[in-house]
Amino acid sequence: MLSDGEIADIFLGTCRTIGSVIDQYELDKTVEEVEDLLLDYSIERCPECEWWVESIELMDENDEPTPCDGCKSYTSRDDGDADDG
């Protein structure tokens, strides 16, 4: 049986659905219970890419909502590669 911390670790850095993890690991938890567990471990989905990341990644220095570091990196790379000519 997996601990809550192990369950949280399964999601971090993935885009897995809660239902798929419940099924694969035969968890005795509901989707709502896993959602609450993830919030307890400060893990949330990025609103842009839907990957599970640490909640702190989803707030900027002014405590405003922002995409995850991966999305910000991807966006800044796109901006830097733009060809103006």
Nearest-angstrom CA–CA distance, 40 and 28: 18
Q: Are 45 and 9 in contact (CB under 8 A)?
A: no
Segments making up each domain of the chain, as ranges: 4-81
Instruction: Determine the pLDDT at residue 78.
Output: 61
With a cut of 70, which residues of the chain have pLDDT below it? 77-85
